[in-house]
Amino acid sequence: MNLVRVTNPEAIGMVVRSTRKAQSVRQDDLAQVVGASHVLLRDIEYGKPTVNIGKVLEVLEELGIHIYLDVPKP
C-alpha cells in the first residue's frame, strides 16, 4: 500500500492521473465505465474543486484507489 496525504483537489487529481496512466487507461474509456464525460475526468485530474464527490469516488474505485480517513479521537 502506498499512502499519499491529500490536502486539496489538485492532489487527488495528480493521483488519479498518474494511476490512470500507469494502468494505460484512456480518459474517455474510464469516463465511459463510470458513466461520465471525458470533461469530468479532465476536471478531476486538474483538481477542479466543484466536481461531484460521488463521481470522484466512482473514479477512485474503478482505478483501485481507496480512501481512508484518519479521524481524531474525541
Q: What is the pLDDT of residues 13-38, one digit of tens each?
A: 999 999 999 999 999 999 999 999 99
- Coil/strand/helix, residue 18: helix
Q: CB 17: neighbour CB atoms within 10 A?
A: 17
Note down the domain range covering 40.
9-63
Cell of 17: 492521473
Q: In this structure, is residue 69 part of a structural domain?
A: no
- Domain count of the chain? 1
**30: in domain:** yes
Output DSSP code: residue 8.
S
pLDDT in tens, 33-69: 999 999 999 999 999 999 999 999 999 999 999 999 9
Residue 4 falls within a domain, yes or no?
A: no
Q: What is the pTM of this model?
A: 0.92
CATH of residue 44? 1.10.260.40
Give a yes or no: residue 2 inside a domain: no
Assigned domain for 47 exists: yes
| 39 lies in some domain | yes
Cell of 44: 478531476
Q: Cβ of 36: how many Cβ atoms within 10 Å?
A: 21
